Amino acid sequence: MTSQSTPSRLGIIVSSARPNRIADVVSQWVRESVPAEVTIDLIDLAEVALPAFDGSAAPKSGVAPESDHHRAWAERIDALDAAVIVTPQYNGAYPGALKNAIDYLYAEWSRLPVLLVGYGWMDASEVLAHLEPLMRRLDADVVDAIGLGFGEDLSPQGELSIRAEKAEALTAGLAALRERLPVSV
């Protein structure tokens, strides 16, 4: 938990593991909007490279992680005060790497303030419609879901032209995350 003297720790989860992704451009846009006093942990799922879930028990069962990669992943997410999940819309849903990373954990997502930032056609409406209920099922505190659209906010090659209302929504979403951070007494 954070205290007033400790900076907040925000994880920005880059969920695309494709080599030709534009997630880096969208993640950088998010990073540039985060207040300077917030510590950012940029979590690139391509680098984390979790194998398909290989535990002997479901994370919801409460059994401690058995493998080093599972323990490291659980500790990394548990250390966060809030998270922004940046996800593309692939075939109307989220990338397999993101689903796998989410499914590795249970308690670590519970009550974690989360902002979802999707990008794709139709303002990423399909991926956000799938991801938001999944995160709520895990008891994450989803503060908002922002969808960037190809053509309106960015090109399929990653050139940004973010609409003012989307930039304002990101600012408001980051503020909502900050409001939910624990404060020491």
* Domain CATH number, residue 31: 3.40.50.360
The whole-number average pLDDT for the span 54-67 is 91
Domain assignment present for residue 98? The answer is yes
Using the predicted structure, report yes or no on whether residue 65 has a pLDDT greater than 70: yes
Using the predicted structure, report yes or no on whether residue 77 has a pLDDT greater than 70: yes
Domain assignment present for residue 2? The answer is no
Strands, E assignment, the chain: 9-14, 39-44, 82-88, 113-120, 141-149
Q: In which domain, by residue range, is 61 found?
A: 9-179
Tokens of 121: 């056609």
Number of domains in the chain: 1
Q: Is the dihedral of CA 21, 23, 24, 26 positive or negative?
A: positive
pLDDT tens-digit series, residues 101-154: 999 999 999 999 999 999 999 999 999 999 999 999 999 999 999 999 999 999
Domain assignment present for residue 4? The answer is no
Q: What is the pTM of this model?
A: 0.94
